[in-house]
Amino acid sequence: MKKLQGVISALPTPFRRDGSLDREALKKFVDFQIDNGITALLPVGTTGESPTLTHEEHAEVIRLVIEQTAGRVPVICGTGSNATAEAVAMTKQAAADGADYSLQVTPYYNKPGQEGIFRHFTAIADASPIPIILYNIAGRTGRNIETETVARLAEHPNIVGVKEASGSVAQAMDVIHSVPNDFMVFSGDDSLTLPTIAVGGDGIISVASNVIPQAMTEFTAAALTGDWETARKYNKKYAPLFQKLFIDTNPVPVKYALSRMGWMEEVYRLPLCPMNDKCKTALDAVLKDLDLIQDSAK
């Protein structure tokens, strides 16, 4: 498959006021993202509130995004689990529904060692009909995928990239230097998009692109083509947004922002809940400054 570069939007999952899936809002949001130039879509990752979706809802969100995308951009589905057999089953289902890639998070809670992590991802890649992208986010899983392990996994023909969300540019750089040139390395932190690309990364799996898809597309395109002056201008302009979108646990702030912009309801499933008024006011101020909303009223 062609190497992906640019912006991959980690989609939120819209809910109605009664807590059910808002299918129409999701379809419209998929079109909004594609119309604004993003490289690929990622449903049911962390931003998609996957931990509180039922298995049936998880599969339905994937199908809805694939159907609405209609082949216009690749779809990368979050089908990871801390149970290897479950991850294999979900990945096979997503592949059958037409997914292009699977994003596989490090096993969480049971906290395997590096050999266990290696065997987990290898087993999934062996069984998967579609390519696998690793998802390294130790802050949520309790386990870092060490660079040596990523390099070993990169030798597997069906493991084609990593979302590097360790928060460390140094680790991203080590990974980039340790894997083949065709192995994709994406930042998992919007605020580290520029330095990650600068050391050889391929782009960003983004939360901010939900709010500013066109700007993130232009930002990463500038960086990937070596137009550092333009890239720095985008980074400076949107740095406050990158910061405020993580003022509370993702996806709470981005879903609030999108509710203020009219894309979906501000509805979460417990244990996630709305931000306090202080955080909302701070995020409103940034959204207003960027002309993304017209006022700061709630």
Which residues, in sequence order, are CB contacts of 70 under 8 Å at separation 6+? none
**How far is the C-alpha of 85 from the C-alpha of 79, rounded, in Å?**
11
**Residue 280: both structure tokens together:** 């909302």
Which residues, in sequence order, are CB contacts of 271 under 8 Å at separation 6+? none
Contact 66, 99 (CB under 8 A): yes
Contact 193, 204 (CB under 8 A): yes
* C-alpha torsion sign, points 228, 229, 231, 235: positive
Kindly name the residue from 163, 244, 255, 280 that is annotated as catalytic.
163
Q: Residue 53 corresponds to which amino acid?
A: L
**How far is the C-alpha of 123 from the C-alpha of 32, rounded, in Å?**
36
Contact 274, 24 (CB under 8 A): no
Question: Torsion angle, CA of 175/176/181/185, rounded to 10 degrees?
Answer: 90
DSSP string for residues in 72-99: SS-BEEE---SSHHHHHHHHHHHHHTT-
Contact 187, 205 (CB under 8 A): yes
**How far is the C-alpha of 78 from the C-alpha of 151, rounded, in Å?**
22
Could you confirm whether 135 is annotated as catalytic? yes
Question: Torsion angle, CA of 86/13/143/158, rounded to 10 degrees?
Answer: 60
Kindly name the residue from 135, 234, 256, 268 that is annotated as catalytic.
135
Catalytic residues: 135, 163
